[in-house]
């Protein structure tokens, strides 16, 4: 990705296009390993978080824009750009805490396995275990105490770190489901 686009090649949208753009995701270029900065496709300013917008153009071809928060909020009706950036930051710090080696314990019954407890939105904890078998790694997220709602994907990962990252995505998904249930039941 080039850091800055020349202004004359920038996409121009008229005000009648406003409602058609949707945001399909937010990225933080710094967390993807590259240290390059990004520029907004719309106004050219250097941006910290990249909001990826998409829409189907008049010719039926889908168009994409990578913009900063201000341009995203202007182009996408009702879009809370700052809220999306904050959620991305929160997720990054949750992931950092989850991955921290010190928070993982070595299994007493099988030293190849590691586990940790995760606090859930309903203040229960779930035990997450990364299991080594035949040189591959699997993930097991235990359900609440009576054993229902276990999450154990069939997928296997080549190294423990990848399995732990996958475990984070699973646990975060369970957290989101729980939050949604807590909201609808209150
Ligand atoms: Zn912009």
Q: Is 76 exposed, middle or buried (0-12, 13-18, 19+ CB in 10 A)?
A: buried
Query: In the predicted model, is pLDDT for residue 6 greater than 70?
Result: no
Distance CA 97, CA 105 (A): 14
Q: Is 26 exposed, middle or buried (0-12, 13-18, 19+ CB in 10 A)?
A: middle
Which residue from 127, 179, 121, 117 is spatially nearest to 149, judged by alpha carbons?
127
Residue 173 CA to ligand 1 centre (angstroms): 31
Q: Are 131 and 113 in contact (CB under 8 A)?
A: yes
- Tell me the sheet residues that pair with 53: 23, 65
Phi, psi of 4 (to 5 degrees): -145, 130
Residue 71 CA to ligand 1 centre (angstroms): 4
Q: Please give the structure tokens belonging to residue 137.
A: 């790694």
Residue 9 CA to ligand 1 centre (angstroms): 14
Query: In the predicted model, is pLDDT for residue 1 greater than 50?
Result: no
Query: In the predicted model, is pLDDT for residue 129 greater than 80?
Result: yes
Residue 74 CA to ligand 1 centre (angstroms): 9
Query: In the predicted model, is pLDDT for residue 19 greater than 50?
Result: no
Q: What is the DSSP letter of 111?
A: T
Under the banding of pLDDT at 50, 70 and 90, the label for residue 18 is very low
Predicted confidence at residue 12, as pLDDT, reads 52
Provide the phi-psi class of 8: left if phi over 0, else alpha when psi is between -120 and 50, else beta. alpha
Predicted confidence at residue 77, as pLDDT, reads 87
Under the banding of pLDDT at 50, 70 and 90, the label for residue 79 is very high
Predicted confidence at residue 35, as pLDDT, reads 60
């Amino acid at each position: 990705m080039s850091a800055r686009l020349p202004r004359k090649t920038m996409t121009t949208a008229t005000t009648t296009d406003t409602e058609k753009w949707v945001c399909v995701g937010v990225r933080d270029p710094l967390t993807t390993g590259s240290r390059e900065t990004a520029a907004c496709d719309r106004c050219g300013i250097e941006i910290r978080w990249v909001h990826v917008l998409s829409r189907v153009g008049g010719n039926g071809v889908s168009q994409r824009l990578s913009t900063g928060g201000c341009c995203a909020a202007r182009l996408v009706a009702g879009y809370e750009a700052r809220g999306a950036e904050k959620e991305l930051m929160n997720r990054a710090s949750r992931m950092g805490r989850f991955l921290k080696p010190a928070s993982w314990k070595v299994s007493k019954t099988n030293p190849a396995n590691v586990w940790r407890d995760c606090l859930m939105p309903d203040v229960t904890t779930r035990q997450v275990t990364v299991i080594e078998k035949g040189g591959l790694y699997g993930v097991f997220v235990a359900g609440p105490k009576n054993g229902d709602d276990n999450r154990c994907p069939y997928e296997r990962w080549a190294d423990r770190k990848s399995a732990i990252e996958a475990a984070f995505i699973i646990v975060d998904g369970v957290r989101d489901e729980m939050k949604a249930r807590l909201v609808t039941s209150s």
